[in-house]
Amino acid sequence: MTGRSYAYAAMNQPENLIPVDTSCSAEFLVPQWYVLFVRSNQEKRIAHSLHQRGVEHFLPCYSSLRHWKSRRVRLEMPLFPGYIFIKLPFIERLRVLTIPNVVSLVGRKDFPAVISAEEIAWIQRGLAHGQAEPHKYLAMGQCVMVTAGPLSGMQGILIRKTNGARVVVSLDSIARAFVVEVEESSVKALGSENIVPAPLPSASDAQQLWKRAG
C-alpha cells in the first residue's frame, strides 16, 4: 500500500502471463494505465482479485468520518467510487474484464481512456500530502498551479481561498476530479499575476464506457 491507497505491482511470472498476438499494433502490447468501471461497493473486493491475478492496480482511498447510530466511524472510502486504475497491455484486457462485478473499461466508444503516469502521480501526491477528497468534475474556472511544497507542479481550478486554498484537480481523460488543500502562498494563477477565486459552474459528469470486448 502507498499512502491511503491500495496498489499492487504485477508479478512477472509465467503463470500470470497470457499469449499475445504479435501481429497487433505495438501500442496494444505496451502496458498503460486504464480505468475499470466496477459495480458499487465492490472496489476493494475486485482490487483483491486483481492482486490474485498479478495485475498492477491502484485503488485510491481517502479517510471519511461517518455517523452511524450513536457513534462516529472513520472509513477508508474510494476517492472515485466505481473506478479502479489498472496497468497492463490492452491486448491482455480479458485478465481484468472477466473478473466478477467488473462492468467495462472507461473511455470512448471505440477505445478506452489512457491515464497518464503524471495523473496517477497527482492522485498519489494528493492523497499523501493534500488531504484529497472527492469533488465534482469541473471543466471551467480559474486555472492555477501549485508552485511550492510536495504538490508543486500540480494544476487545477481554484474554488476557495479562505484560510488556505482548495484546488480541484480534474482528470479530463475520465471526467473525474478530486480536491486538495494547499497553502495560499503556494498557488499562482496561470496566465495571470493575480489569483481570482473561480466560480462553481455546473459541469456535466457524463462519461462514455468502452464496453467489454469479446
Rg (CA), the chain: 19
Q: What is the value of pTM for the model shown?
A: 0.74
Task: Please report the pLDDT score of residue 168 as a whole number.
Answer: 93
Q: How many CA atoms does the CB half-sphere of 32 hold within 13 Å? A: 16
Q: Does the pLDDT of residue 204 top 50, yes or no?
A: no
Tell me the CA distances in angstroms from 141 to 87, 128, 150, 192, 195, one per residue in order. 31, 25, 23, 13, 12
State how far the Cα of 178 lies from the Cα of 166, in Å rounded to an integer: 10
Cα gap 128→55, rounded to integer Å:
23
Q: For 45-64, write each residue's pLDDT tens digit.
A: 999 999 999 999 999 999 98
Higher pLDDT, 210 or 67: 67
Mean pLDDT: which of 91-95, 105-109, 133-137 is highest?
Answer: 91-95
Question: Rounded to whole angstroms, how far apart are CA atoms 109 and 210?
Answer: 5
Task: Go through the domains of the chain in sequence order and give each one's CATH number.
Answer: 5-115 (3.30.70.940), 120-189 (2.30.30.30)
- What is the predicted pLDDT for the residue at 74? 84
- Average pLDDT estimate for 76-89: 96
Nearest to 49 by CA among 99, 92, 10: 99
For residue 107, what pLDDT is reported? 92
pLDDT at 207 over 50: no
Q: d(Cα 74, Cα 107) in Å, to the nearest integer?
A: 32
Ranking 76-85, 127-136, 188-197, 199-208 by mean pLDDT, the lowest is 199-208
